[in-house]
Amino acid sequence: MTDELADSVLGAARRARAAAADLAVLTRAQKDAALEAMASALEAETPRITDANAQDVARARENGTSEAIIDRLRLDEKRIAAMADGLRQVAGLPDPVGEVERGYALPNGLQVTQRRVPMGVVGIIYEARPNVTADAAGLALKSGNAVLLRGSSSALASNTAIVDVVRAATARTDVPQDAVQLVPGDGHEAAKHLMRARGLVDVLIPRGGAGLIRSVVEESTVPVIETGVGNCHVYVDADADLDKAVDIVLNAKTHRPSVCNAAETLLVHADVAGAFLPRVLGALQDAGVTIHGDERVRGYAEHVVPATDDDWAVEYLSLDLAVAVVDSLDDAVAHIRRWGSGHTEAIVTRSLAASQRFAATTDSAAVMINASTRFTDGEQFGFGAEIGISTQKLHARGPMGLRELTTTTYVVTGDGHVRG
């Protein structure tokens, strides 16, 4: 039984590998035409997709799934139109394949060119939101990669419908059909076979909660790019413009609390604690934020929940904020290095030296100087689209766009050169 499953997963991976060889030599025009065909097909087949989605939603209801999750699962005309728009946006982006990263001539006359090429086969393991199915397929295809999609079983009917529609659309283009495949089989076993398909799958990108990401990192022999966990900090320096600091803290915490680039901890320099904390804590509490403060913070406001180590460590993803007073910039950095997840840290300061030291010593994917942590985002960074935000250091760090779905090849041209 499991062997049958392994065979079908590995079979899909082999077909993806074969498709990748053809994808690698397609022109941008050929890939963009396929993306346009996929977008039109999603629009034309909207009823088929919403019907399939209705089955998933009904099943989720039976299983007593929370309304929040069901809302993430639900697809309507508007959301499907957004998926189609997303594919057209990707078609409008430059093609990273063929870009020359660097090139030079060696003393012996050899010409070295480091050129961007597709990864080959990209695996995506993701939860709930079925729109990821179309987004990931579009980004993988534009960057010349075949994609193996492993969505959650709760969205199986929706994902199957979307992939069927997309594959039918590519069949009328130069893109090989097996460029986009849903990993066969249900449950964790199938994902496990995908994670062990080293040599067939070039990279695995988990998109979802910390639990999913941890299990992929633990079990996968295929190289993994970790995404998403964000315990982001805002540090208000002794030299901060306090008006800007209030705006940045409020935006970082309350603009969209459920996402990874929202702030979870506020660190305030002792020199400005007296002037700043009463103002910012009042504004935060007015905005419905629960404050978890250390002892010094609790001296500045009412209704502050005493903070424990758990508060420094946790990614709330809610209207909660951990707040501490620190005696120096270096103490703030030490706190961030100890408790942070390496996603995004912001400093509010007028001091050039402070901004430089903060940027040089916090060990994170992104550092915001006098700006909200919310700006760490592929769209905001001008990538046009985003496959995720890497919180690891290998290959990609921070928002990942099309370029991060490629690798490079050295092409070395000689005239009969041999090594002496």
Instruction: Report how far residue 164's alpha carbon sits from residue 167's, in angstroms, rounded to the nearest whole number.
Output: 5
Q: Give the x/- contact pattern for its own copies in 249-278, rule: CB under 8 A.
A: -xxx--x-----------------------
417 touching its own copies, by CB under 8 A: yes
Q: Which 157-196 residues touch its own copies, going by CB under 8 A?
A: none
Task: Provide Rg for the chain, Cα atoms.
Answer: 24
**Three state DSSP letters for 181-192:** EECCCCHHHHHH
Window contacting its own copies (CB under 8 A); options: 55-63, 164-172, 180-188, 410-418 = 410-418
Q: Is 195 helix (H, G, I), strand (E, B) or coil?
A: helix
**Which two structure tokens, joined as six digits, stand for 394?**
């290998």
- Choice between 128 and 203, CB closer to its own copies: 203
382 touching its own copies, by CB under 8 A: yes
27 touching its own copies, by CB under 8 A: no
DSSP lists the bridge partners of residue 323 as: 266, 293
Nearest CA-CA partner of 386 in 201, 124, 158, 200: 124
Q: Which residues contact 226 (CB under 8 A, 6 or more apart)?
A: 206, 213, 217, 390, 391, 392
The distance of closest approach from Cβ of residue 198 to its own copies in the complex, given in angstroms and rounded to an integer, is 7
The distance of closest approach from Cβ of residue 167 to its own copies in the complex, given in angstroms and rounded to an integer, is 24
Q: Is 157 helix (H, G, I), strand (E, B) or coil?
A: helix
The distance of closest approach from Cβ of residue 123 to its own copies in the complex, given in angstroms and rounded to an integer, is 13
374 touching its own copies, by CB under 8 A: yes
How many binding residues for its own copies (CB under 8 A)? 70
Nearest CA-CA partner of 136 in 405, 418, 415, 391: 405
207 touching its own copies, by CB under 8 A: no
The distance of closest approach from Cβ of residue 120 to its own copies in the complex, given in angstroms and rounded to an integer, is 6
Q: Which 320-349 residues touch its own copies, going by CB under 8 A?
A: 337
Nearest CA-CA partner of 236 in 250, 226, 224, 222: 250
DSSP H or E segment with residue 10: helix 2-23
- Choice between 288 and 382, CB closer to its own copies: 382
- Choice between 176 and 399, CB closer to its own copies: 399
Q: How many CB atoms lie within 10 A of CB 210?
A: 11
Cβ 352 vs Cβ 329: under 8 Å:
no
- Choice between 218 and 310, CB closer to its own copies: 218
The distance of closest approach from Cβ of residue 72 to its own copies in the complex, given in angstroms and rounded to an integer, is 21
5 touching its own copies, by CB under 8 A: no
367 touching its own copies, by CB under 8 A: yes
119 touching its own copies, by CB under 8 A: yes
Choose, by CB under 8 A, the member of 6, 160, 168, 223 that binds its own copies: 223
**Which two structure tokens, joined as six digits, stand for 273?**
């604690």
Cβ 266 vs Cβ 236: under 8 Å:
yes
What is the DSSP code string of 85-144?
Answer: HHHHHHHTSPP-TT-EEEEEE-TTSPEEEEEEEE-SEEEEEE-S-THHHHHHHHHHHHTT
- Choice between 175 and 367, CB closer to its own copies: 367
Instruction: Report how far residue 158's alpha carbon sits from residue 259's, in angstroms, rounded to the nearest whole number.
Output: 24
228 touching its own copies, by CB under 8 A: no
363 touching its own copies, by CB under 8 A: yes
DSSP lists the bridge partners of residue 99 as: none
415 touching its own copies, by CB under 8 A: yes
2 touching its own copies, by CB under 8 A: no
Q: How many CB atoms lie within 10 A of CB 417?
A: 12
410 touching its own copies, by CB under 8 A: yes
50 touching its own copies, by CB under 8 A: no
DSSP H or E segment with residue 276: helix 270-286
- Choice between 187 and 382, CB closer to its own copies: 382
The distance of closest approach from Cβ of residue 411 to its own copies in the complex, given in angstroms and rounded to an integer, is 5
11 touching its own copies, by CB under 8 A: no
Cβ 264 vs Cβ 232: under 8 Å:
yes
Window contacting its own copies (CB under 8 A); options: 183-191, 238-246, 297-305, 320-328 = 238-246
Expressed in angstroms, the distance from the first to the final Cα of the chain is: 57
198 touching its own copies, by CB under 8 A: yes
Instruction: By CB under 8 A, name the binding residues for its own copies.
Output: 21, 24-25, 104, 106, 110, 112, 114, 117, 119-120, 198, 202-203, 217-218, 221, 223-225, 241, 243-244, 247-248, 250-252, 255, 337, 355, 359-361, 363-372, 374-376, 380-382, 392-395, 397-399, 407-419
